[in-house]
Amino acid sequence: MAIVIIRQDGKIDLWKDALLEADPSIKVYNYLEEHPKEGVSMALTWKHPEESLSVYPNLKCIASAGAGVDYIFEDETVPKNIPITRIVDPYLAGDMSEHVLAVIMAHIKNLNAYKLNQVAGIWKTIAYKRIKDVTVGIMGLGELGSLTGSDLYRYGFTVQGWSRSKKSIEGVKTFAGDAELKPFLNTTDILVCLLPLTPETTGVLNASLFRQLPEHAYVVNVARGGHLVDEDLVQALQIGHLSGACLDVYHQEPLPKDHPFWSHPKIHMTPHYASVSDTASVIPQIIENYHRIAKGHPLLNEVDRKKGY
Ligand code: NAP
Ligand code: GLV
């Protein structure tokens, strides 16, 4: 039995060392190096190249090194019968919550607008908002969305959330399903997308959704680029319906240099780094699953293949 690490971001050694430090008895391969394919029972992956997961005849688990698994479902060559797991981790959720708080505070205190004014040499005050007067609406109340919502409530925001099934989270008004999307949007000042990317959620941040938000609404997409219809955002900002957006994720990453988002004064960008898996924190659940495979036990954090998340 062995684990193969498949990723293209130069972090294979980091993950290999972390796995071996936690459990030196495990055999770990770098997918780029020659290795016996038959012995591999787990593939630990992040944005693997297409077809790289189909060469292991005895694979028992595809472990995403992040929370999202959309890139695994998008690869048609991935065997359909192998369980997929994902990361559920307090730092991953906590870092996202902190990022969203920072983005919201920067928006309501006009820090991005002031930075633009500073660069242009403009001294001008802009009315700020108070936390108590802001309603944040979170799309997706899973591991990240529910913690983010609870934290924002603790800070004093009015918080509401929307998910597929109804949730009960202290301090968060919850909405569920298509029927309750409109009332949720109508009363949201700052919309935060924390949905998984699936066929149902692709393109959900579109012109029709923006029209249901108040004119002054601000959009934060920290989930996946595929949730957003880029042209619809630019168009909404152009007609003054939406006050701005903060994006961490894009259809193509890195974002192509000629993309209009780069120079848009009302779009604030971060490079898909809102929240990243902390190797030391997440390695134990990977190793636990590796041993569970050998024992034939149910896996931790298994993805529902039917739902796609
Ligand atoms: P999760 O625990 O699976 O939660 C997903 C939530 O979305 C659930 O509440 C689910 O509803 C809801 N949902 C799914 N499909 C829906 C639909 N069609 N309509 C309404 N609600 C729907 O996911 P998570 O761990 O919180 O992560 C969310 C996403 O964040 C990831 O998939 C990833 O794309 C993104 N992410 C981004 C970064 C970054 O750095 N930017 C970092 C980590 C994760 P139910 O509860 O009813 O099923
Ligand atoms: C990051 O985007 C993740 O899905 O963990």
pLDDT tens, residue by residue, 95-113: 999 999 999 999 999 999 9
Q: What is the pLDDT averaged over residues 137-156?
A: 98
Residue 143: other Cβ atoms inside 10 A: 19
3-class secondary structure, 228: strand
Annotation says 48 is catalytic: no
Q: Which ligand is nearest to the CA of 64?
A: 2
Residue 153: other Cβ atoms inside 10 A: 18
Per-residue pLDDT at 156: 98
Place of tokens 């298509």: 178
Q: Which ligand is nearest to the CA of 272?
A: 1
Alpha-carbon radius of gyration of the chain: 21
Nearest CA among 136, 191, 198 for reference residue 169: 136
The span from the CA of 77 to the CA of 58, in Å, is: 16
Reported as a pLDDT band with limits 50, 70 and 90, residue 77 is very high
CA of 205 to the centre of ligand 1 (A): 14
The mean of the pLDDT values for the chain is 98
With beta carbons less than 8 A apart as the criterion, state whether 32 and 266 touch.
no
Annotation says 224 is catalytic: yes
Sheet bearing 190-193, strands edge to edge: 172-176, 158-163, 135-139, 190-193, 218-221, 244-247, 267-269
The pTM of this model reads: 0.98
Distance of CA 73 to the CA centre of its chain: 15
Reported as a pLDDT band with limits 50, 70 and 90, residue 70 is very high
Q: Are strands 244-247 and 158-163 parallel, antiparallel or unpaired?
A: unpaired
CA of 124 to the centre of ligand 1 (A): 39
All structural domains of the chain: 3-89+277-295 (3.40.50.720), 90-269 (3.40.50.720)
For ligand 1, say whether the CB of 144 is within 6 Å of any of its atoms. yes
For ligand 2, say whether the CB of 67 is within 6 Å of any of its atoms. yes
Which atom of ligand 2 is least distant from the CA of 272? 2
pLDDT digits (tens, 9 = 90+) for 262-296: 999 999 999 999 999 999 999 999 999 999 999 99
Pocket test for ligand 2, best of 73, 92, 249 (most atoms within 8 A of CB): 92
Per-residue pLDDT at 231: 98
Per-residue pLDDT at 132: 98
For ligand 2, say whether the CB of 196 is within 6 Å of any of its atoms. no
Nearest CA among 101, 109, 105, 114 for reference residue 265: 114
